[in-house]
Amino acid sequence: IDEVIGPFFFAEPTVTKEVYLDMLELFAIPQIEHRQPNVYWQQDGAPPHWGKIVRDYLNNTFPGRWIGRDGPISWPPHSPDITPLDFFCGAMSRTESSPKKFKILRNSRIEFERLLEA
């Protein structure tokens, strides 16, 4: 996939495994599947990503093709070459909007969406 899907902003103040699974089922996976059916899913070891319901869903949706904690392909901790979102989002945030600091989450969301549209 040579495009950005999203951004997705959680409405809930806390992302639980159930909230994360909803995002996967209702937002991310439907957008990915029709673009390229055999992609690999990559996620870090954040607690919501590691929930059994999430891992079961990923095992069914991406059999043998997801990278993460207790997944078929292990997440290598502290690996700079496997954290592309950190580099992509970090580079974007250092463009014309920086060094502006976002003090309110809503402002950062608006600014991030504006940067993606540019």
Domain spans in the chain, listed from the N-terminal domain onward: 1-77, 83-118
Residue 90's pLDDT is what? 53
| Chunked mean pLDDT (size 10), the chain, 118 residues | 72 92 93 80 86 96 91 77 55 50 56 66
Q: Which long-range contacts (CB under 8 A, 24 or more apart) does 109-117 make?
A: 109/7, 109/9, 112/7, 113/7, 116/4, 116/6, 116/7, 116/92
The per-residue pLDDT for 81 is 60
pTM of the model as a whole: 0.69
Q: What is the pLDDT of residue 108?
A: 64
Looking at residue 78, its pLDDT comes to 66
